[in-house]
Amino acid sequence: MIRPFSVDELAGSPVDPSELRLLFHRLNNQLGIILAHSELIESKASDEATRARATQVVAAALDAMTTVKDIRRHTSPSSDSPAN
């Protein structure tokens, strides 16, 4: 079972790299769910206002996923190697 994690744990103390990887993985999973649902709403929306809002959520989720990847690359102990 995955133990609950608080961002407060990051403040003032080093975090085990494996825990950090797990956090990034969990965050990407949640962002993937948001992305999938917003893309579905975007494709099925019957009115333009709903479609426009879903498009904004899609863009924000993609941006957040890119941000997670950038943070992971900058905080990874192996940041010298190319990122995936």
pLDDT tens across the length of the chain (84 residues): 556 656 666 566 677 778 888 889 999 999 999 999 999 999 999 999 999 999 999 999 999 999 999 988 887 765 444 544
Per-residue model confidence (pLDDT) at position 8? 63
Rounded-to-integer distance, Cα 55 and Cα 38, Å = 7
Q: Is the pTM of this model over 0.75?
A: no
Per-residue model confidence (pLDDT) at position 76? 72
What's the residue count for the chain? 84
**Domain edges within the chain:** 18-75
- Residue 57's closest CA among 77, 32, 76, 82? 32
Per-residue model confidence (pLDDT) at position 80? 46
- Dihedral (CA of 74, 75, 81, 82) sign: negative
Which tokens in the block code for residue 62? 């993609």
Region of 12 (left: φ > 0; alpha: ψ -120 to 50; beta: rest) is: left
